Amino acid sequence: MPEAPSGQRPQTDPPARAAGSGRGWARRLGVWGLGVILTFALLVSLAGLALAMMPVSLLIRNHNIPGVDAVYGSLWTGRADLRGDYRLEWSSKLGWGHLETPITLSGADTRVTGAASFGVTGVALEQVTGRAGPGLAQLIPGAWQCDMTARVSDIALSWGWFSVGAAGQVSTPEGSCEKGNRSIDIPPLSLDLTSEGPDAVATLREPDAPPMAVARIRRDRVVDIRIEPTAADVFPALPRSGPITLQVPF
């Protein structure tokens, strides 16, 4: 192969120069894109941390929340004093890709614990277990006053990008409820939470009996409710003329 004349630079293959230049631009573009992503993630994290550290009283000062007497602390850690000497406490910690917040609801007849989590995959409430006393009804305007304590067993609720999930059970023993001059006797009941495909399903029934009501919660923010005629045996205000079907957006 002839050598290049003295004083002249060897010729480089043009396609090779183009390929090398393309690879260089690709590397620079990749580094730039990664930098943008990391910067955005850092800004979002700092904004979330700033929000979590903000006094919760500032966040809800323009909202009247029924049953809440006072709030203290921040979204990161704090408590809410509720009507009837009940208290809701929370304290957050960072996990892998999510914020985990253990919570405790307590009072003279109540102690329920669980954990809420917030992350890129959605929000969830998990491991909710304990007893919920009848006094909690005073936190709900217009609620019936009952004398039963509910048992809460491993409740889990999740709201993701494409689906809603649920698991666990809430059960009550036999008892009675009253409102004004009305009173009804209530048999033992259970509310079973399950997941079916992308939906969460809540089923109300007496032990070893067919469902008296089913609510299906959909990801498109709609609740489909079906109430069977047998529900009137427990709740006399309901009609007995065939099932009632409702669709409630939220």
- Residue 42 has what pLDDT? 47
> Residue 62: which pLDDT band, with cuts at 50, 70 and 90?
low
What are the pLDDT digits (tens) for 184-226? 999 999 999 999 999 999 999 999 899 999 999 999 999 999 9
At residue 15, the pLDDT reads 52
Q: In this predicted structure, what is the pLDDT of residue 5? A: 54
Q: Which residue has the higher pLDDT, 208 or 113?
A: 113
The predicted pLDDT at position 43 comes to 46
Average pLDDT in the chain: 82
Instruction: Please report the pLDDT score of residue 47 as a whole number.
Output: 47
Does 34 or 207 have the greater pLDDT score?
Answer: 207
Mean pLDDT of the 223-241 span: 91
Which pLDDT does position 100 carry in this prediction?
87
Handedness of CA 64, 67, 73, 74 (dihedral sign): negative
pLDDT of residue 34: 52
Report which of residues 192 and 59 the model is more confident about: 192
Of the ranges 36-50, 192-206, 227-241, which one carries the lowest mean pLDDT score? 36-50
Give me the mean pLDDT over the 9-16 stretch: 53
Question: Please, which pLDDT band fits residue 23 given cuts at 50, 70 and 90?
Answer: low
pLDDT at 244 over 60: yes
* Chain mean position to CA 49: 19
* Higher-confidence position of 240 and 128: 128
Of 95, 91, 85, whose CA–CA distance to 72 is shortest? 91
DSSP string, 62-131: T---TTEEEEEEBSSEEEEEETTTEEEEEE-EEETTEEEEEEEEEETTEEEEEEEEEETTEEEEEEEEEE
Q: What is the domain partition of the chain in residue ranges?
A: 75-249
pLDDT at 231: 94
- Residue 92's pLDDT band (cuts 50, 70, 90): confident
Q: What is the pLDDT of residues 121-174, one digit of tens each?
A: 889 999 999 999 999 988 888 888 999 999 999 999 999 989 999 999 999 999
Distance CA 142, CA 229 (A): 24
Does residue 111 or residue 6 have the better pLDDT? 111
Q: What is the predicted pLDDT for the residue at 114? A: 96
- Percent of the chain at pLDDT above 70? 73
